């Protein structure tokens, strides 16, 4: 269990196994948080601004493949409580956390460090992660921790509210790309994961990463960033910092949205850098299709021409994605027509 970085204290220098080769290091060049990333305000979504807001979401999904959302309807009280529960979990004694250590992709609750390939990887990422399945809640909740004492109650509520939020985003996207209402309901968005990253302060952020450069393979992701910078998105070949806006959610259309929209929407390449002084905890929520449903460019897309991807099951996509080292472009290439 000493492998979990959340069990370490007073780390004075970066252990060798976390030092990336020079060409993969983030380096010392400072990347400030940028105000270029679109911010979508949902306050007036049920009124006359709806069409305008949908347009902004589609433009942001085309140009950046990542945006922030404010006035999203999930209460600040709930997002704060959720963050407090996860921080308390990572601060818990090593013996308590040891019960949850697992790298089984199918488990309802698993805690691990770096990646699921920790034993074989050459360099480790500076992060611990807990991933929990949360839909439907009754299938999973008994595998969640009972400590902190309010864990199950708070996280169940957060799972429900974050799912509602993501389904609303999907419905707005659906409308914006010309699909019939409900296209993303049911099997398309059946599975839900909450994935929490925790990074302790890092003695040398220039040499290591909290998460590799990647695209999210799922349908859609949201992220509650907390208040410490670290998330960076690649735009026109440059990394830009995603500012931690108090109370906002970062939304990232996943690779499945790229395929279903026939390439109209994009999914940002992003990575996580570490912080010298402050611990960072972030809460991701992902919706993914069920394993056997057919994913393909949708009929009826606005302005769409010939499909550029063939149909596949999500299971097939996910296998291809992992065998291609989680490299989005390589995986997508296998499905190009």
Ligand X SMILES: O=C(O)CCC(=O)C(=O)O
Binding residues for ligand X, per CB under 6 A? Answer: 195, 197, 211, 216, 223, 225, 230-231, 270, 272, 282, 284
Task: Output the smallest distance, CB 197 to ligand X, in A.
Answer: 4
> Exposure of 89 by Cβ count < 10 A (0-12 exposed, 13-18 middle, 19+ buried)?
buried
Number of residues that bind Fe ion (CB under 5 A): 1
Residue 185 and residue 171: Cα distance in Å, rounded?
9
What is the nearest approach in angstroms of ligand X to the Cβ of residue 193? 9
253 binds Fe ion (CB under 5 A): no
Q: In the numeric block, which tokens belong to residue 51?
A: 């069409």
CB of 149 to ligand X, least distance (A): 26
195 and 130 in contact (C-beta within 8 Å)? yes
| Shortest-Cβ-distance residue relative to Fe ion | 216
Q: Is residue 128 a contact residue for Fe ion (CB under 5 A)?
A: no
Give the nearer residue to Fe ion in terms of CB position, either 37 or 53. Answer: 37
Query: Would you count residue 258 as binding Fe ion (CB under 5 A)?
Result: no
Helices 76-91 and 151-176: crossing angle, nearest 10°? 130
Does residue 216 belong to the site contacting Fe ion (CB under 5 A)? Answer: yes
- Region of 31 please: left (phi>0), alpha (psi -120 to 50) or beta: beta
Stretch that binds Fe ion, among 169-177, 209-217, 253-261, 300-308 (CB under 5 A): 209-217
| Pick 159 or 225: Cβ nearer ligand X | 225
Q: Please state the closest distance from residue 293 (CB atom) to Fe ion, in A.
A: 22
**Residue 282 binds: one of ligand X, Fe ion, none (C-beta under 5 to 8 A by kind):** ligand X
- Of 4 and 215, nearer to Fe ion (C-beta) is 215
Beta strands 231-235 and 238-242 are: antiparallel
Residue 155 belongs to what H/E stretch? helix 151-176
Partner whose footprint covers residue 254, from ligand X, Fe ion, none (CB < 5 to 8 Å by kind):
none
Residue 230 binding: pick among Fe ion, ligand X, none (C-beta 5-8 Å cut-off by kind): ligand X
Residue 110 interacting entry, from Fe ion, ligand X, none, C-beta within 5 to 8 Å by type = none
- What phi, psi does 110 have (nearest 5°)? -140, 145
Report d(CA 166, CA 164) in Å as an integer. 6
Closer CB to ligand X, residue 163 or residue 270? Answer: 270
- Report whether 282 contacts 231 (CB < 8 A): yes
CB count within 10 Å of CB 147 equals 12
Q: How far is the CB of 250 from ligand X (least distance, A)?
A: 8
Structure tokens of 146? 């009972």
Kindly state whether residue 210 participates in binding Fe ion, applying the rule CB under 5 A. Answer: no
| Residue whose CB is less far from ligand X, 151 or 249 | 249
Q: How would you class 257 by CB atoms within 10 Å of its CB: exposed for 0-12, middle for 13-18, buried for 19 or more?
A: buried
Pick the closer one to ligand X by CB: 134 or 272. 272
**CB nearer to ligand X: pick between 126 and 184:** 126
168: left (phi over 0), alpha (psi -120 to 50) or beta: alpha
Which positions ≥6 away from 278 have C-beta within 8 Å? Answer: 201, 228
For the beta carbon of residue 92, count every other beta carbon within 10 angstroms. 15
Nearer to ligand X, 50 or 135 (CB): 135
Rounded to a whole number of angstroms, the minimum distance from the CB of residue 231 to ligand X is 4
Task: Name the site residues for Fe ion (rule: CB under 5 A).
Answer: 216
């Amino acid at each position: 269990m000493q492998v979990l970085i959340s069990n370490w204290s007073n780390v004075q220098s970066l252990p060798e196994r976390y030092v990336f080769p020079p060409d993969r290091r983030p380096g010392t060049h400072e990347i400030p948080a940028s105000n270029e990333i679109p911010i979508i305000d949902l306050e007036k979504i049920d009124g006359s601004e709806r069409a305008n807001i949908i347009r902004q979401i589609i433009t942001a999904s085309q140009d950046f493949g990542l945006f922030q959302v404010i006035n999203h309807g999930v209460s600040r009280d709930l997002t704060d409580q959720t963050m407090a529960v996860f921080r308390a979990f990572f601060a818990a004694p090593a013996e308590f956390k040891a019960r949850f250590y697992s790298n089984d992709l199918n488990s309802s609750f698993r805690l691990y460090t770096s990646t699921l390939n920790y034993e074989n990887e050459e360099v480790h990422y500076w992060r611990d992660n807990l991933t929990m399945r949360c839909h439907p809640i009754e299938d999973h909740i008994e595998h969640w921790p009972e400590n902190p004492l309010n864990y199950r109650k708070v996280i169940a509520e957060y799972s429900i509210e974050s799912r509602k939020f993501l389904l609303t985003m999907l419905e707005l996207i659906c409308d914006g790309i010309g699909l019939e209402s409900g296209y993303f309901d049911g099997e398309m968005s059946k599975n839900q994961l909450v994935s929490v990253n925790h990074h302790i302060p890092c003695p040398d952020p220039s040499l290591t990463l909290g998460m590799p450069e990647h695209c999210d393979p799922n349908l859609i992701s949201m992220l509650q960033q907390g208040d410490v910078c670290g998330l960076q998105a690649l735009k026109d070949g440059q990394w830009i910092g995603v500012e931690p806006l108090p109370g906002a959610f970062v939304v990232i259309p996943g690779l499945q949205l790229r395929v279903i929209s026939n390439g109209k929407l994009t999914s940002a390449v992003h990575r996580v850098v570490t912080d010298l002084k402050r611990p960072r905890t972030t809460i991701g929520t992902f919706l993914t299709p069920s394993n056997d449903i057919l994913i393909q460019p949708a009929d009826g897309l606005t302005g769409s021409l010939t499909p550029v991807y063939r149909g596949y099951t999500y299971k097939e996509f996910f296998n291809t994605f992992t065998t291609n080292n989680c490299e989005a472009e390589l995986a997508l290439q296998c499905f190009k027509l």
